[in-house]
Amino acid sequence: MNPYCRFLVVSNAVSAAIVLALVCFVFGPATAAYSVAGFEADYAPFLAAGAALLVTIVVWLALTDAVLPFFFRYTPIRKLVLGKHYMEGTWIQAEKHNGMPRMAVIEIQPAGKSFRFSGYAVDENLEVQSNVIMEFSSFSWPFMTYKFRNSLADTSEEGREGVGELHFEANRHAPRSYNGFVQTVNSLGRVKIEGVRLMKGREIRDLRSLEYRADIIDKYWGLFFERGNRVTRMKRKGVGHFGAHTSPVSENVVDPPKFNSKLESSDYIKENEPVAPNVRADVERHVANLASENVENSPIVPRRRASDWSKSDEALEFTDLDDFLDDPDLVKGAGSMELSGSTILRK
């Protein structure tokens, strides 16, 4: 369905309501005046009815063709009538020619119950290459097929006339983008096009000024034609998965210090300096705790010292493996557990 048929429906409905209201308001006084006038001719009632019908038709035509179209040119009313099919405004269109990209500025402006479609195309040097004036169109939402004419081309050139088709973005809101193609007469291939609507008033004003037009064209030229490799851009932003798992902050992660299994507690004590036995034991335990924290996720189990083991029930402490083997009670207990001396030494 053509969304612009709504203007005809609204116009007829409003005109009919106004005419009926006028008839109801004027019928009583007009009938009384006719009775007072006392027309005696037999054809007088027919003349009165014809005059009333003529006035009604004139009022109807005045409303539908002059009064209401005057109000239809205002943007809030057009948005109310068209709703989500409102696609008028200023558009930036990218024409993706093979080896010769161009940027076009398209104006879709209101024209009573319809619209006007016009624009011009520039190259990368901002030189105008062609223009477009729509001669007629067939609009069936969300597709619009149209025939255009290029007034800058010579009569003998193939690009003087052509056709195009647009597919507007269709959702619950007014469209902000479209895509499609254009094809000139006698050309062999189609040119892909993609357009976005300018929503900021400042961009529209700058685009219409000669001083700042280049800034707007350059901005959208980069967005349409200089996007680069998508995978590279996504990797740079850290979005998605490409091959091996990567993290956007992996380059900033600092590896934790590795634990050196050969590190001994004596490295933390200055040589030739007298140290109390209890202080040395505390230092050794502190070093062992640090080592266990650093390698808790490591598959290598760190070596533990004999000083870390204690027999809580007898309150005995051992600092050497030989002391452990010299105790007869412990050796006997180890025998009852069926552990040989060699097994104990390996562990």
Q: Is the pLDDT of residue 82 over 50?
A: yes
Average pLDDT over residues 94-99: 81
For 338, the domain range is 305-347
Is residue 316 a part of any domain in this protein? yes
If asked whether residues 129 and 43 sit together in one domain, one would say no
Using pLDDT thresholds of 50, 70 and 90, give the confidence band for residue 187: confident
Q: For residue 312, what pLDDT is reported?
A: 44
| Digit-coded pLDDT (tens) for 38-64 | 655 566 667 777 777 888 888 889 998
Cα–Cα distance for residue pair 102/96, rounded to 1 Å: 7
If asked whether residues 142 and 31 sit together in one domain, one would say no
Cα–Cα distance for residue pair 279/284, rounded to 1 Å: 9
If asked whether residues 47 and 90 sit together in one domain, one would say no
If asked whether residues 121 and 192 sit together in one domain, one would say yes
Is residue 207 a part of any domain in this protein? yes
Amino acid at 209: S
| Digit-coded pLDDT (tens) for 110-139 | 988 889 999 999 988 888 888 888 988 889
Q: Which of 45, 72, 99 is the last residue of a domain?
A: 72
Is residue 237 a part of any domain in this protein? no
Q: For residue 44, what pLDDT is reported?
A: 64
If asked whether residues 158 and 290 sit together in one domain, one would say no
Task: Please report, rounded to a whole number, the percentage of residues in the chain having pLDDT higher than 70.
Answer: 58
Is residue 68 a part of any domain in this protein? yes
If asked whether residues 150 and 218 sit together in one domain, one would say yes
Q: Is the pLDDT of residue 241 over 70?
A: no
Chain length of the chain: 347
Average pLDDT, rounded, for the chain = 74
Is residue 242 a part of any domain in this protein? no
Element (H, E) at 93: strand 89-96
Is residue 241 a part of any domain in this protein? no
Q: Which of 313, 314, 291 is nearest to 303 (CA)?
A: 291
If asked whether residues 201 and 260 sit together in one domain, one would say no
If asked whether residues 269 and 313 sit together in one domain, one would say no
If asked whether residues 296 and 309 sit together in one domain, one would say no
| Digit-coded pLDDT (tens) for 314-342 | 444 444 445 545 555 544 554 444 444 44
Is residue 243 a part of any domain in this protein? no
If asked whether residues 29 and 49 sit together in one domain, one would say yes
Using pLDDT thresholds of 50, 70 and 90, give the confidence band for residue 188: confident
Cα–Cα distance for residue pair 214/286, rounded to 1 Å: 69
Number of structural domains the chain divides into: 4
Coil, helix or strand at residue 278: helix
Q: Is the pLDDT of residue 255 over 70?
A: no
3-state helix, strand, coil in the chain (%, to 5): 45, 20, 35
For residue 65, the 8-state DSSP code is I
Cα–Cα distance for residue pair 211/276, rounded to 1 Å: 85
Q: Is the pLDDT of residue 176 over 80?
A: yes
| Digit-coded pLDDT (tens) for 201-216 | 999 999 999 889 999 9
If asked whether residues 35 and 152 sit together in one domain, one would say no
E strands in 97-247 = 102-111, 114-122, 128-140, 143-149, 161-168, 177-184, 191-197
Using pLDDT thresholds of 50, 70 and 90, give the confidence band for residue 249: very low
Residue 18 or residue 231, greater confidence: 18
If asked whether residues 95 and 187 sit together in one domain, one would say yes
Is residue 238 a part of any domain in this protein? no
Nearest-Å Rg of the Cα atoms of the chain is 45
Using pLDDT thresholds of 50, 70 and 90, give the confidence band for residue 80: very high
Average pLDDT over residues 159-166: 87
Q: Is the pLDDT of residue 238 over 70?
A: no
Using pLDDT thresholds of 50, 70 and 90, give the confidence band for residue 237: low
